[in-house]
Amino acid sequence: MKMVLQSIKVFCEQWYGPFRNGDQLGGCAIRDSAFASTAALEASEVVGIWQGPNAVANFDASQVNSLQELVDDNMQKSVRDGLDLVLLPKQLWCSLKESNDGGTCSEVGWLLNHGHAITSKCTFSSKTTLKASPYIYMVVLF
């Protein structure tokens, strides 16, 4: 089964007060309502070879609880060629591409500054079941 990207929803929050361990949710305000009118990220900012430490939550079909602890895994290298990138405003991007085993790899990322990004990847099997979800802080390799 082939997965296709149907839509993208972006939620943006800015904290203007102390978080207090979730005690107060009123310290959060949504702003920047003109998200779609802002210029999209340049492809040259995210294509190339990136590497960074990752933390992984693994999933299997027998799991009842979908919340998983992130476990330190190792260093991960990622190569983005720009072909499958959807470039978004506010230094964000996403991609959806077929993996070597017939599954699908979905990635979203936020470019913090030049050469530094946080990404989240979800890997799905060819039957569209979630296999793994690593969260990665990556640094570009020059």
The partner residues of 94 in beta bridges, in order of sequence, read 86, 108
Range of the domain at 85: 39-140
3 found inside a domain: no
Q: How confident is the model at residue 25 (pLDDT cuts 50, 70, 90)?
A: very low
Close Cβ partners of 18 (under 8 Å, ≥ 6 residues apart) = 24, 27
Contact criterion met (CB below 8 Å) for 93 and 41: yes
How many domains is the chain built from? 1
What number of CA atoms fall less than 13 Å from residue 75's CA on the CB side?
A: 7
pLDDT tens, position by position, 62-114: 555 554 555 566 777 788 888 889 998 888 998 888 888 888 888 888 898 88
Q: How confident is the model at residue 27 (pLDDT cuts 50, 70, 90)?
A: very low
Cα angle 19, 93, 60 (rounded to 5 degrees) comes to 75
48 found inside a domain: yes
Decide: residue 75, CB within 10 A, 0-12 exposed, 13-18 middle, 19+ buried.
exposed
Element (H, E) at 111: strand 104-113
57 found inside a domain: yes
CATH number of the structural domain spanning residue 82: 2.40.128.20
76 found inside a domain: yes
**Residue with more model confidence, 138 or 128:** 128
R_g over Cα of the chain: 17
Please give the torsion angle defined by the CA atoms of residues 72, 60, 105 and 120, in that order, rounded to the nearest 10 degrees.
Answer: -40
Q: How confident is the model at residue 43 (pLDDT cuts 50, 70, 90)?
A: very high
What local confidence, expressed as pLDDT, does residue 29 receive? 47
Contact criterion met (CB below 8 Å) for 129 and 117: no
